[in-house]
Structure 1
Amino acid sequence: MKRLLTTGFFAMIIAGMTSCSVQKQNTATSVNLPDKKEVLEVAERANHYFMNKWPDAGKEIVGKKVWPSNLWTRAVYYEGLMALYKIHPKKEYYDYALDWSQKHNWDMMRGTFTRNADNQACGQTYLDLYEIDGKKHPERIKYVKMSMDSMIASGKSDDWWWIDALQMGMPIFTKLGRITGDKKYFDKNYEMYAFTKYKHGGNGLYNPKDKLWWRDKSFVPPYKEPNGEDCYWSRGNGWVIAALARTLQDTPKSDPHYQEYLQDYKDLLSALVPIQREDGFWNVSLHDPTNFGGKEMTGTALFVYGMAYGINNNLIDKKTYLPVLTKAWTAIVKDSVQPNGFLGWVQGTGKEPKDGQPLSVNKEPDFEDYGLGCLLLAASEVYQLK
């Protein structure tokens, strides 16, 4: 009974916060947009720190084991670099991405016919480079297409059993669909997305009640956080936001599932507004601030990316979300991005709030690259705000 009362009381507080927060935002007459020059300076500072640290784009990453540099963490970085290149097309960014892709022969990590979305994530950058150069280099798309075609031919749809996979895999299908004009890529993308949303973990990894996602079947009820709430991991939900934003970018509005993507995207963003921390960040555990509560950059940056993308493309209400994202972006710039470009408050790799803890402003995570990718994605959209 005590737990039920505590949880109910927590829900009442959240509801009150929602009402007050949205009311304040809707009555705000103006919000100062982040200065474009400052946004670009922050992105370049963080990126230069990383590029100087990793001058050889093909160098293996040595940690508890040795990883090839086209693993998912580095792939997310290059997604961010491509986004930065689009708003600030410096040749050194293009060259860095091209060198990385060539050193991996434009292939997936673990080979062309891997089914793991983490291993396929590098294909997003290969496709970007294919388009940047006017589709003149078929070798850049060859293995990505073969990999996705093999997924379609298999008839299987249950490969995305963890929500991070949505961000790693969905944009590849939709980019291929747009580039080739072949509907099969959009169809397969939804088929796999729907399996994750409605079937994995028994009834799917999406909770329509809270409008948030469980990371995988390990975290669906009866699993609870220490305060009795469901476990919604910040970065995991950030991956979903990024996946949906990038999917909406490439999926035609005439697609039969476009509206479902859009609604899921809007619903998830709406769930974030009342639970933003006072300092602008989001906790690693979205419904339990007592479980390693504190600043965390990666989930926050992905939420900023999703909100800024929605405003820039007229998908969400600017009055509601601009104050939220500017507060979060300001917090990242003030507290996370250091004078030398190092990013603090980055949770290391893992799957739940306790992983990589405790965080600090000067703690180096096990992989630095994906955190920077999240920042660059956010910066690329914040830069375009009007």
Structure 2
Amino acid sequence: MKRSLIKNGFFALIIGVLSSCSTQKSSSVNKVEIPDKKEVLEVAQRANQYFMDKWPDTKKDIVGKKVWPSNLWTRAVYYEGLMALYSVDPKKEYYDYAMSWANNHNWDLQRGTYTRNADHQACGQTYLDLYEIDGRKNPERIKNVKAAMDSMIATPKVDDWWWIDALQMSMPIFTKLGRITGEQKYFDKNYEMYAFTKYRHGGNGLYNAKDKLWWRDKSFVPPYAEPNGEDCYWSRGNGWVVAALARTLEDTPKSDAHYQEYLQDYKDLLSALLPIQREDGFWNVSLHDPTNFGGKEMTGTALFVYGMAYGINKGLIDKKTYLPVLTKAWNAIVKDSVQPNGFLGWVQGTGKEPKDGQPLAIDKVPDFEDYGLGCLLLAASEVYQLK
């Protein structure tokens, strides 16, 4: 009897120790993996303040190789990020800055109300956000963007999104309008155009179901190959798709006939990123060829962080699988990209493939500084909400 008690006590002690170690390890991992909210917010605020200080005039044209109005797609992506930051850090100065921008462009799209080009429509996402922030009391704020999308719906044409960046620029407008108005036509047109990009553009579509990644446009569909013989999957291009799907899932009803397809495409793309993350936390500009301008790159990485953090926050993907990956990436961005003054290093300039804007550097100013910040703020807004 005594021997039995001693034996049972011994096993109980061992089990207790193992349980304690397991609990401590789990607790330790959780503390390491989830970024501190205050630190996340400070990084976002610092980077954003740097930009707001540099561009106090929201109407000022952007001058480079040519002159662009400040409601072009690069600036629109910044304001998407600013609205995301505002949702977790509702400072009046953010709202005022966005309102100034929208008012300075008369709530119109780049190159006019009836443009079909997704890049020219992108600013409409922020107009819709500002319309909702103020309780939907000012329909003039969405008059032009709604007219543009209605004009697209009025035609059978569905091949406008011939490059994958376009998905992020335009899909969320359709789904936001669908949710705001309650009209199914916006969801239907959104899917028709998405499906053409996925299944038809480039011959058999720009999505490669085998690799679960997207070619940027038809010029990168095989037989085009990277120097190592692999397909060319551009990091930021696939990041745009991640963001497009996350924002589409946010506003599309689960009862919609195509919700599950969006969800599966989103999950598949994220899963394809897991084995190709760099050791330092970033992703290469060429996802399947690290020898083609391999190195740190912030924008694609930030968009992947945004998509993964969003999925965890919404319960769409497995937290145990993705939290360590996105945390590693976020920490790399904070450590290696965000500078003490808020400047963002390792940002690839505008383009469509790995060679564009190269070489990158910690102190190199890209041709446009705005969209990189937008990507960072989108990521920060979701990382901030991790529990």
1:82 aligned counterpart, secondary structure: helix
Q: Which residue pairs with 1:20 in the alignment?
A: none
TM-score normalised by structure 2 residue count = 0.92
Q: Which residue pairs with 1:332 in the alignment?
A: 333
Code of the residue aligned with 2:361 in structure 1: it is S
In structure 2, C-alpha distance between the alignment counterparts of 1:63 and 1:286, rounded to whole Å: 29
Code of the residue aligned with 2:351 in structure 1: it is G
How far did 1:147 drift? 0.2
In structure 1, C-alpha distance between the alignment counterparts of 2:125 and 2:318, rounded to whole Å: 29
Q: Which residue pairs with 2:174 in the alignment?
A: 173
Q: Which residue pairs with 1:124 in the alignment?
A: 125
User: Max radius of gyration: which structure?
Assistant: 2
Q: Which residue pairs with 2:295 in the alignment?
A: 294
Deviations 1:131-155 (A, max 9, x none): 0000110110100100000000021
Q: Which residue pairs with 2:286 in the alignment?
A: 285
How far did 1:169 drift? 0.4
Q: Which residue pairs with 2:145 in the alignment?
A: 144
Code of the residue aligned with 1:198 in structure 2: it is Y
1:205-284 aligned within 5 A? 205-284=206-285
Structure 1 gaps, min length 5: 1-27
In structure 1, C-alpha distance between the alignment counterparts of 2:246 and 2:254, rounded to whole Å: 13
Q: Which residue pairs with 2:318 in the alignment?
A: 317
1:260 aligned counterpart, secondary structure: helix
Code of the residue aligned with 1:267 in structure 2: it is D
Code of the residue aligned with 2:239 in structure 1: it is G
How far did 1:200 drift? 0.1
In structure 2, C-alpha distance between the alignment counterparts of 1:228 and 1:241, rounded to whole Å: 25
Deviations 1:319-346 (A, max 9, x none): 0000000000000000000000000000
How far did 1:380 drift? 0.1
In structure 2, C-alpha distance between the alignment counterparts of 1:192 and 1:58, rounded to whole Å: 32
In structure 2, C-alpha distance between the alignment counterparts of 1:155 and 1:119, rounded to whole Å: 20
1:1-386 aligned within 5 A? 29=26, 30-31=29-30, 32=32, 33-386=34-387
Code of the residue aligned with 1:104 in structure 2: it is H
In structure 1, C-alpha distance between the alignment counterparts of 2:310 and 2:139, rounded to whole Å: 30
How far did 1:94 drift? 0.1
Q: Give the share of equivalent positions with the same residue, in percent.
A: 86
Code of the residue aligned with 1:314 in structure 2: it is G
Deviations 1:216-260 (A, max 9, x none): 000000000000000000000000000000000000000000000
Code of the residue aligned with 1:36 in structure 2: it is K
Code of the residue aligned with 1:92 in structure 2: it is E
Structure 2 gaps, min length 5: 1-24
In structure 2, C-alpha distance between the alignment counterparts of 1:163 and 1:188, rounded to whole Å: 17
In structure 2, C-alpha distance between the alignment counterparts of 1:65 and 1:113, rounded to whole Å: 23
1:154 aligned counterpart, secondary structure: coil
Code of the residue aligned with 2:90 in structure 1: it is P
In structure 2, C-alpha distance between the alignment counterparts of 1:249 and 1:114, rounded to whole Å: 25
What is the aligned residue count?
Answer: 359
In structure 1, C-alpha distance between the alignment counterparts of 2:141 and 2:102, rounded to whole Å: 8
How far did 1:263 drift? 0.1
Code of the residue aligned with 1:150 in structure 2: it is S
1:127 aligned counterpart, secondary structure: helix
Q: Which residue pairs with 1:10 in the alignment?
A: none
Q: Which residue pairs with 2:4 in the alignment?
A: none
In structure 2, C-alpha distance between the alignment counterparts of 1:154 and 1:76, rounded to whole Å: 27
2:160 aligned counterpart, secondary structure: coil
Runs of 4+ in 1 over 6 A off after TM superposition: none
Deviations 1:241-295 (A, max 9, x none): 0000000000000000000000000000000000000000000000000000000
Deviations 1:287-320 (A, max 9, x none): 0000000000000000000000000000000000
Deviations 1:7-60 (A, max 9, x none): xxxxxxxxxxxxxxxxxxxxx833321000000000000000000000001110
CA RMSD of aligned residues (A): 0.6
Code of the residue aligned with 2:130 in structure 1: it is L
In structure 1, C-alpha distance between the alignment counterparts of 2:204 and 2:113, rounded to whole Å: 31
In structure 1, C-alpha distance between the alignment counterparts of 2:108 and 2:180, rounded to whole Å: 18
1:156 aligned counterpart, secondary structure: coil
